[in-house]
Amino acid sequence: MIGVGRSKQNLNVVDRPLGKGKTEVSLSAFAFLFSELVQYNQTRVDNIAELERRLEDAGYAVGIRMLELLCHREKGNRRETRLLNILSFVHSTVWKSLFGKVADSLEKGTEHEDEYMISEKELLVNRYISVPKDMGAFNCGAFVAGVVKGVLDGAGFPARVTAHFVAVEGQPRPRTTILIKFSEEVLQREARLG
């Protein structure tokens, strides 16, 4: 049956045209929603590590869906199969659609072959935050680490992803580095592909 006269919202969700991802809400709306995500999860945990894990889980759910949306919209339903390509996809395409800009930098770890770092001078989720001393190294970037993990996992590149504050010389505020450590199988496959 053709849905004549039915509004967009009344169509079954899969029959609706997928938006172009250009609509926007205010940054404040996101900031408040995100704050409440953090506040709510603080009531469900006993320690910082658990809080970060729950934020990562929430981010993961966003990442895995973002991958689907972007592959469909930007890549004609194809996705990257090579390590450097998927990293650059995260650093540029994913970042640009989520945060309106490509990430400040993407680097390979100097000590370990399987590590890569995406850094951001002022990560969106850390823009307004002051972390009290008793919360130690807590980093809301765990949410973004989860997003990255979701994208990578969904694309077949399982990895451990964590967020860290890194002091920057001459800057009052630290930057956030998202550290990606790929699973062994990913590196082995990459080696086979040559």
Partner 1 sequence: MAPPTRAGDYPFAPVDRVNAELFTLTYGAIVRQLLTDFEEVEEVNKQLDTMGYNIGVRLIDDFLAKSNITRCSEFKDTAEVIAKVGFKMFLGVSATVSNWSADGSECSLILDDNPLADFVELPDTCQGLFYCNILCGVIRGALEMVSMRTEVKFVKDMLRGDDAFEIRLKLLEQVAEEYPYKDDE
Partner 2 sequence: MAAIASTPRMRCLYIFNRDGVCLHYHVWLRPLTTLSPHQDQKLMFGLLFSLKSFTAKMDPVGGNKGNLGAPNLPGQGCSFHSFRTNTYKLSFMESPSGIKLILITDPRMGDLRDALKYIYSNIYVEYVVKNPLYTPGQPFKCELFNATLDQYVKTLQ
Interaction site with partner 2 (CB under 8 A) = 28, 31-32, 34-35, 37-39, 125, 127-132, 135, 140, 172
Residue 158's alpha-carbon distances to 9, 94, 182, in angstroms, are 35, 17, 6
* Least gap, CB of 60 to partner 1 (angstroms): 8
**Binding segment toward partner 1, per CB under 8 A, in 30-38, 78-86, 114-122, 156-164:** 30-38
Please, are residues 163 and 175 in contact by the beta-carbon 8 Å criterion?
no
Return the one option of partner 1, partner 2, none that residue 9 interacts with (CB less than 5 to 8 A, by type).
Answer: partner 1
* Least gap, CB of 62 to partner 1 (angstroms): 4
Which runs of consecutive H residues, i.e. helices, occur in 101-163? Answer: 142-154
Q: Does 136 bind partner 1 (CB under 8 A)?
A: no
DSSP letter, residue 14? T
Return the one option of partner 2, partner 1, none that residue 54 interacts with (CB less than 5 to 8 A, by type).
Answer: partner 1
Q: Does 19 bind partner 1 (CB under 8 A)?
A: yes
Nearer to partner 1, 58 or 118 (CB): 58
**Binding segment toward partner 1, per CB under 8 A, in 58-66, 83-91, 161-169, 175-183:** 58-66
Antiparallel, parallel or unpaired: β 159-166 and 105-108: unpaired
Q: Does 36 bind partner 1 (CB under 8 A)?
A: yes
Q: Give Cβ neighbours of residue 90 (< 8 Å, ≥ 6 apart).
A: 103, 118, 148, 151, 152
How far is Cα of residue 93 from the mean position of the Cα atoms in its chain?
Answer: 11
Q: How many residues does the chain have?
A: 194
Q: Does 29 bind partner 1 (CB under 8 A)?
A: yes
Q: Give Cβ neighbours of residue 135 (< 8 Å, ≥ 6 apart).
A: 48
Q: Does 9 bind partner 1 (CB under 8 A)?
A: yes
Q: Does 121 bind partner 1 (CB under 8 A)?
A: no
| Other residues' Cβ atoms within 10 Å of the Cβ of residue 47 | 10
Please, are residues 177 and 166 in contact by the beta-carbon 8 Å criterion?
yes
Residue ranges in contact with partner 1 by CB under 8 A: 7, 9-10, 12-14, 19, 21, 23-30, 32-37, 39-41, 44, 54, 57-59, 61-62, 65-66, 69, 97-100, 124
